[in-house]
Amino acid sequence: MQKNILFVIPTMQQGGAERVVSIMANYWAQKGYGISVISFDDQASYYPLLPTVKYYNLNSTTNGFGLLNFVVNNIKRTFNYLRLAKKIGPDVVVSFTDNANVYCVLYNFFARRKLVITQRNNPDYITLPSVIKKLPRLIYKYADVMVLQCEATKAIYERQRVKLPPKTEVIYNMIKTDYQESFANEKRENIVLAVGRIENRQKQFDRLVEMFAATGNSSWQLHIAGDGPNLPDLKARIMKAGLLDRVILHGSIKNIMPFYSKAKIFALTSLFEGQPNALIEAMVNGCACISYDCPTGPAEIIDNSVNGILVKLNDEPEFIKQLAGLMNDEAAIKKFSAEAVKVKSIFDETRIMTQWENIITNL
């Protein structure tokens, strides 16, 4: 029997979790499922949703800081959520990110539904407000299912002694299966591509710019696609270093696929990840990839020296050495490109969504 499924997420603005929600919602809507999406903010979805997908905003975020603002926000959020949940009447609720997970578990004591919570990032870098930061350890076990992106996340939760639901599954991120198959024949340029939110705490694009410059290869450019709070600082650094002609900032890009097809190399310098969508997409689209072996994700995607290069986390001299070597080795670029595309079968949308459907059906 086809289900009525509700996705809950803090926002549907640009991001990996948000993109996955849009793919899942559209996929199931096309199959005739009743699909609704609730976001906590008051913004329209950055990612396109089919007309049959019902999209709701809780409008529960007000400007300001402090305890009073926190209380006001959460009263609004709770009231609006319970009202909408009653209206939608979902068979299953699927929440994305810790913020949504915590609230959905708590809401579920009042509006009982089958609940699937997900972890989309590294639990060691949880970003919950301090008031509720310890709640996952106490309440996650009350969800019906938890879905993790990779095996390494399980080990982190075990170390943290977080009690998870009896049923905890690992399901990889999916990629759309309608990407061009002609990437191998594309005319690629001497471009190192990086994609993500311009936020130095995680992505470390400021360090990537410096490492790229340190390769000393003036025949290459570094292209960075993304927006975020550290974009002005990054622009200033590039200008001060005299790299305006070699480091190109593209800002937020709606359709990133042509960028993957144009670049020879993709670089990931994150301090931590969940399971990086951009890295998967770059490999599927035939980029030769070099990545820090950050927790978590890259080591489950890249087989070092086979379909890409893994470098010890924050080992900048080694990253510079490996990046410079790759930039000067066209044969290695072609080898990694040919091997990288093979991960498509692992992250295929239909394969991953079948795993999700098994969970939903069994609930």
The string of DSSP letters for 326-349 reads HHT-HHHHHHHHHHHGGGGGTSBH
Q: What's the start-to-end Cα distance of the chain, in Å? A: 12
How many Å apart are CA 43 and CA 206, to the nearest integer? Answer: 29
Q: Where do the domains of the chain lie?
A: 4-174+348-362, 183-345
* DSSP E strands, the chain: 4-9, 34-39, 54-57, 92-95, 114-119, 145-148, 167-170, 189-195, 221-225, 247-251, 263-268, 288-292, 309-311
- Contact criterion met (CB below 8 Å) for 137 and 114: no
Amino acid identity of 75?
I
Structure tokens at 302: 């890249």
**CATH-assigned architecture of domain 183-345:** 3-Layer(aba) Sandwich (3.40)
pLDDT of residue 182: 47
How many Å apart are CA 318 and CA 214, to the nearest integer? Answer: 12
pLDDT of residue 264: 97
pLDDT tens track, the chain, 363 positions? 578 999 999 999 988 889 899 999 999 999 999 999 999 998 999 999 999 999 999 886 655 556 677 777 778 888 889 999 999 999 999 999 998 999 999 999 988 899 999 998 888 887 777 767 788 889 999 999 999 988 888 889 888 888 899 899 999 988 875 554 545 456 899 999 999 989 888 999 999 999 999 999 999 999 999 998 999 999 998 998 889 999 999 988 888 889 999 999 999 999 999 889 899 999 999 999 999 999 989 999 999 999 999 999 999 999 999 999 999 999 999 999 999 999 999 999 999 999 999 999 998
pLDDT of residue 62: 56
Cα 149 to Cα 161, 197, 269, distances in angstroms:
19, 19, 19
pLDDT of residue 65: 55
The reply to whether 4-174+348-362 and 183-345 are identical in fold is yes
How many Å apart are CA 296 and CA 225, to the nearest integer? Answer: 22
**Helix-, strand-, coil-residue percentages of the chain, each rounded to 5:** 40, 20, 40
Fold adopted by 4-174+348-362: Rossmann fold (3.40.50)
Q: What are 289's strand-pairing partners?
A: 266
pLDDT of residue 22: 95
pTM: 0.86
Amino acid identity of 286?
G
pLDDT of residue 327: 97
How many Å apart are CA 225 and CA 191, to the nearest integer? Answer: 12
